[in-house]
């Protein structure tokens, strides 16, 4: 169970069966965690990891180039933090941002939501919960925090 309140996800699996795969950009500065997450998400048929970068500035550049449906972003990043990168991405692109973090204080969560994040999960969340957040974000549902 994550440290943050559990998100209330809609059942989106039936809808996803009829859609193209969701293009996801991973933004995580821990190489081992990023590669493991990329491998696990690669086993999910409706998720297509189109790129993976290690800092917020590169995330913006890759959004420009790849136009992902969803960015799965770490909160604490070098170059440009999660809040700033989320704000830049959501203001410039038609891309939803789901934040994945080890820990976050209430004020940090509020800043992420104000920046445009649609969900915030902890890194110890089950893969199924992360995938549901990606699916819901791609459908542009209501805020999931």
Which CATH number does the domain housing residue 92 bear? Answer: 3.40.50.2300
Q: How high does pLDDT run on average in the chain?
A: 86
pLDDT at 3 over 50: no
The pLDDT value given to residue 47: 97
Query: Could you tell me the residue range of the domain that residue 90 belongs to?
Result: 13-138
pLDDT at 143 over 50: no
Helix spans in 42-115 (H): 56-66, 82-92, 106-115
- Write the pLDDT tens digit of every residue in 49-88: 999 999 999 999 999 999 999 999 998 899 899 999 999 9
Residue 3 lies in a domain: no
Percent of the chain with pLDDT over 70: 83
pTM across the whole model? 0.83
Q: Where does the pLDDT of residue 18 fall: very low under 50, low under 70, confident under 90, or very high at 90 and above?
A: low
Residue 40 lies in a domain: yes
Residue 5 lies in a domain: no
Residue 107 lies in a domain: yes
pLDDT at 6 over 50: no
- The total number of structural domains in the chain stands at 1
Residue 6 lies in a domain: no
pLDDT at 8 over 60: no
- Give yes or no for a contact between 118 and 132, defined as CB atoms under 8 angstroms apart: no
* C-alpha torsion angle, residues 6, 103, 40, 114 (rounded to 10): 70
- Write the pLDDT tens digit of every residue in 24-58: 999 999 999 999 999 999 999 999 999 999 999 99
Q: Which residue, 73, 9, 16, is CA-closest to 47?
A: 16
Residue 119 lies in a domain: yes
Residue 143 lies in a domain: no
Residue 88 lies in a domain: yes
């Amino acid at each position: 169970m994550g440290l943050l309140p559990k998100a209330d996800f809609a059942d989106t699996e039936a809808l996803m069966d009829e859609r193209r795969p969701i293009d996801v950009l991973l933004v995580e500065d821990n190489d081992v965690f990023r590669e493991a997450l990329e491998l696990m998400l690669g086993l999910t048929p409706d998720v297509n990891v189109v790129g993976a970068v290690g800092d917020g500035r590169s995330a913006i550049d890759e959004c420009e180039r790849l136009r992902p449906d969803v960015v799965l972003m770490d909160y604490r990043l070098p170059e440009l933090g999660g809040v700033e990168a989320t704000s830049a991405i959501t203001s410039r692109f038609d891309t939803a941002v789901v934040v994945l973090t080890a820990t976050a204080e209430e004020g940090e969560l509020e800043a992420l939501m104000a920046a445009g994040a649609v969900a915030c999960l902890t890194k110890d969340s089950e893969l199924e919960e992360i995938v549901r957040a990606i699916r819901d974000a791609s459908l542009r549902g209501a805020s999931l925090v």
